[in-house]
Amino acid sequence: MSIPLNADMHCHSTVSDGLLAPAEVVRRAHANGVDLLALTDHDELGGLIEARQAADALGLRFIDGVEISVSWGDDTTVHIVALGIDPNEPRLKQGLAQVRSGRDARAVRMAAELDAVGIHGAYEGALRYAGNPALVSRAHFARYIHAQGLTRDVKSVFDTWLAKGKPGYVPHSWATLTEALGWIHGAGGVAVIAHPGRYRLNGMEMRRLLGEFSEQGGSAIEVLSGAHSPEQAREFARYCREFGFLASRASDFHGPGESWIDLGRMPALPDDLIPVWQRFI
Ligand code: AMP
Ligand code: MN
Ligand code: MN
Ligand code: MN
């Protein structure tokens, strides 16, 4: 039996809400033994050229990716990872610009709500971490709030202030599933449902999401994700078989100290599943 590739199909750089520059992400992946890497910043392609150059210099195989924010059903945010897209495809670029355009106004509303519960200066604070108002995300708010000394770690900020139902959570309309899949397929890419175990969907709702995704040409789901427990990995391996999806393996790495798992440090996929990267190698 051949040794499986150490493929990591999902991670972030400073171009969205990661802590390392694109080239640093690539160098860290290489040092961790990753053979095949996709950089998948949120709604943004701006790190791909730098990352690819760094990967070429190291002889690390690289896939152009992006993680698209989608609103699905009754106010559920679902993330769709696009792999192997042409980063110059105009409709994809325009679609992503449209998705990004709502972030600044959302951040202003989030800051107003946080202000009302005693967390002041959060808009300016989050922007200091984000750099770019078009990319300001809850992760940047979380870093600012954590830096106020209010929580033991950055993740805990979500439980108290930023998760759905908490004071700083503002509902938002991202792309529709149909739009995101249209942009991805139009740019020659493969669509993957990111961290399906993170969505608070019951079995019936999950099957509806997976069914719609499949009918519209979606190809794969993340079975192994930094955000999944071992039990969730087994659950999504079963869904993968049931729907005939390809399987992905994804750290969702954001930075040292802030992520569940480091680049490339996930177990191997179950033997019977077909890895999504078979499309690229
Ligand atoms: P946004 O796109 O602005 O809603 O921000 C979403 C980002 O916040 C995700 O991509 C993660 O980086 C981070 N995030 C969301 N929920 C959590 C959580 N429970 N713990 C840690 N980070 C989270
Ligand atoms: Mn993120
Ligand atoms: Mn995500
Ligand atoms: Mn991600």
Question: At 62, is the secondary structure helix, strand, or coil?
Answer: strand
Domains of the chain, by residue range, sit at 7-101+175-279, 103-162
CB of 43 shorter than 6 A to ligand 1: no
pLDDT in tens, 179-223: 999 999 999 999 999 999 999 999 999 999 999 999 999 999 999
What average pLDDT does this structure show over 263-280? 97
How many residues in total does the chain contain?
Answer: 281
Which protein residue has the closest C-alpha to ligand 1 atom 9?
Answer: 139
Does 155 contact ligand 1 (Cβ within 6 A)? yes
User: Which of these CATH numbers, 1.10.150.650, 3.30.420.340, 3.40.50.970, 3.40.190.10, describes 103-162?
Assistant: 1.10.150.650
Q: Which of 137, 160, 229 to mutate to test the pocket of ligand 1 (most atoms within 8 A of CB)?
A: 137
Q: 46 near 15, Cβ under 8 Å?
A: yes
**Which tokens belong to 91?**
């409709």
Q: Quote the CA–CA distance of 48 and 69 in Å, as a whole number.
A: 18
Output DSSP code: residue 175. B
Least confident of 18-27, 48-57, 175-184, 257-266: 257-266
Band (pLDDT 50/70/90 cuts) for residue 96 is very high
How is residue 281 written in tokens?
């190698």
The pLDDT, as a whole number, for residue 129 is: 96
Instruction: State if residue 195 touches ligand 1 by the CB under 6 angstroms criterion.
Output: no
Which residue, by CA, sits nearest to atom 6 of ligand 1? 138
Ligand nearest to the CA of 136: 1
The answer to whether 225 touches 255, Cβ cutoff 8 Å, is no
Ion ligand 3 neighbours (CB, 5 A) are 79, 194
What number is the average pLDDT over the span 217-245? 98
Q: What is the pLDDT of residue 4?
A: 83
Residue in the structure block whose two tokens are 């959060």? 122
Pull the structure tokens for residue 37.
């890497």
* Residue 247 region by backbone torsions, left for phi larger than 0, else alpha for psi between -120 and 50, else beta: beta
* Choices 1.10.10.1150, 3.20.20.140, 3.40.640.10, 1.10.10.10: CATH for 7-101+175-279: 3.20.20.140
Residue of 52, 25, 57, 45 whose CA lies nearest to 86: 45
pLDDT tens track for 120-137: 999 999 999 998 899 999
Dihedral angle over CA of 38, 44, 47, 53, nearest 10: 60
What CA–CA distance (Å, rounded) separates 203 from 213? 15
**Predicted TM-score (pTM) of this structure:** 0.98
pLDDT at residue 259, rounded to an integer:
86
Q: Is 67 touching ligand 1 by the criterion CB < 6 Å?
A: no
Concatenating the DSSP letter of every residue in 35-54 gives SEEEE--BT--TTHHHHHHH
Residue 253 CB less than 6 A away from ligand 1: no
Q: How far apart are CA 14 and CA 1, in angstroms?
A: 38
